[in-house]
Amino acid sequence: MITEEIAARFPAAELAGAWRQFDERTSLLEFRLLDDWCAWRSLDTAEDVFLLVARARDVQTDRRGLNELGAATLGSKLLAAGLDNFARCWGQMPRTFRVVARKAGAHAYRRVDAQVAVERALGTRLPQLRLVEDDADAEFWLTVVGTTALLGLRLSSAAMRGPSYPLTSLPASLKPSVARAMVRLSRPRPDDRVLDPLCGAGTLLLERAASGPAAALLGGDRAPEAVDVATANAAAAGVPVSLEEWDALALPLPDRCVDAILTNPPFGKRVQIPGDGPYPFYRRLLRELRRVLAADGRLVLLTSQTDAMLRAMRGLEPALILHRRLSVLVRGERATIFVLGGE
């Protein structure tokens, strides 16, 4: 999904490398682009954006690799330009720095050893910057995957990972980046009547509101405490959302009354699946969602119960057409985004 957003917003960007789920939770994509670095901080479906400031290939996996990481940092031709572009985006040069290290693969050294090697090299190369443990002006993120090492200067802030509006979360609340990806997949239009029948804290509805105007935002949940949290979140955000306590399997809504459905049914882990198990639940849920969805509407649904979902789709009348399936990691668990339509 992130590659599609980048292609749409930055057509001159070229994908140069990909490390997908290198630590079971994180994927890293490398793009080449000659300009517009600052604008990348407004991406919806990414959680962080970095400027590449050093690279090392064929790094030894024994402790000799630590010297190679330091040497690559000291000799990098990208570091000075990276700092200049960082200052351009943030309006000033940093005065302090810290290093965050992560690695995947078998190495004879620890992650913290790699961190210290790069900290020392940066301290020598950039004596004007002071090393701190936290709240640094500049964060350098070192990623070592096998024998490849990338050092990035973080352009994004923590706000990029956070919700578009003030949000009180619940145990199974979606990450904002996943919610934004689902909103994009719904192809939002200003005349959409949007429904989340299992709204939880209201994350999907608030992210849909942040994406642009909608004719109506409707939501509900069987848990009264979830409806209370979603109501408070919508009020804090100043977003007009109609919320009710209801059973998503028997919605108090007329047929074909909504144009888009965005929803994240329970995975059965932090929130239990009601009824007799995943398949009966998804079969009843899809029947009800198909009933209230307009003939040309779009349903975007996230679940880890992929087999139950596929089984429930078979024999559904009228049918829901599967437009796309996308694999994602949600709280460390593999899940699938289904994009379905009536026509």
272 falls in which pLDDT band (50, 70, 90)? low
Q: Of the ranges 23-32, 113-122, 221-230, which one carries the lowest mean pLDDT score? A: 23-32
**Over the stretch 91-109, which tens digit does the pLDDT of each residue have?**
999 999 999 999 999 999 9
Judged against a pLDDT cut of 70, whether residue 275 lies above it is answered with no
Alpha-carbon span 299 to 279, nearest angstrom: 18
| Mean pLDDT value across the chain | 90
> Considering the chain, what percentage of its residues have pLDDT values greater than 70?
94
Q: Of the ranges 5-9, 82-86, 152-156, which one carries the lowest mean pLDDT score? A: 5-9
Partners of residue 131 on adjacent β-strands: 97
- pLDDT of 209: 96
Q: Left, alpha or beta for 24 (phi > 0: left; psi -120 to 50: alpha)?
A: left
Q: What is the mean pLDDT of residues 121-137?
A: 96
Asked if 61 and 147 touch (Cβ cutoff 8 Å), the reply is: yes
Round the CA-based radius of gyration of the chain to a whole number and report it. 23
Alpha-carbon span 297 to 295, nearest angstrom: 6
Judged against a pLDDT cut of 70, whether residue 140 lies above it is answered with yes
Partners of residue 258 on adjacent β-strands: 293
Alpha-carbon span 49 to 25, nearest angstrom: 16
Q: What is the mean pLDDT of residues 285-290?
A: 96
210 falls in which pLDDT band (50, 70, 90)? very high
Judged against a pLDDT cut of 70, whether residue 334 lies above it is answered with yes
> What is this structure's pTM?
0.79
User: Mind listing the domains of the chain with CATH numbers?
Assistant: 2-159 (3.30.2130.30), 176-341 (3.40.50.150)
Question: What is the DSSP-derived secondary structure letter of residue 270?
Answer: S
- pLDDT of 81: 92
Triad 209, 211, 214: Cα angle to 5°: 50
Q: Which of 261, 264, 254 minimizes the C-alpha distance to 320?
A: 261
Q: Which of 146, 154, 112 minimizes the C-alpha distance to 19?
A: 146
Residue listed under structure tokens 């790069």: 118
Q: C-alpha distances in angstroms, 285 versus 53, 122, 152, 212?
A: 49, 55, 44, 28
Partners of residue 244 on adjacent β-strands: 220
Higher-scoring residue by pLDDT: 262, 29:
262
Judged against a pLDDT cut of 90, whether residue 235 lies above it is answered with yes
Q: What is the mean pLDDT of residues 239-262?
A: 97
> Which segments within the chain are labelled E, that is strand?
14-19, 28-32, 50-56, 96-104, 130-131, 138-145, 148-154, 193-196, 216-221, 242-245, 258-263, 293-303, 321-330, 333-341
Lookup: tokens for 338: 């289904």
39 falls in which pLDDT band (50, 70, 90)? confident
- pLDDT of 333: 78
One-letter amino acid for residue 196 of the chain = D
Q: Of the ranges 162-171, 187-196, 235-244, which one carries the lowest mean pLDDT score? A: 162-171
One-letter amino acid for residue 301 of the chain = L
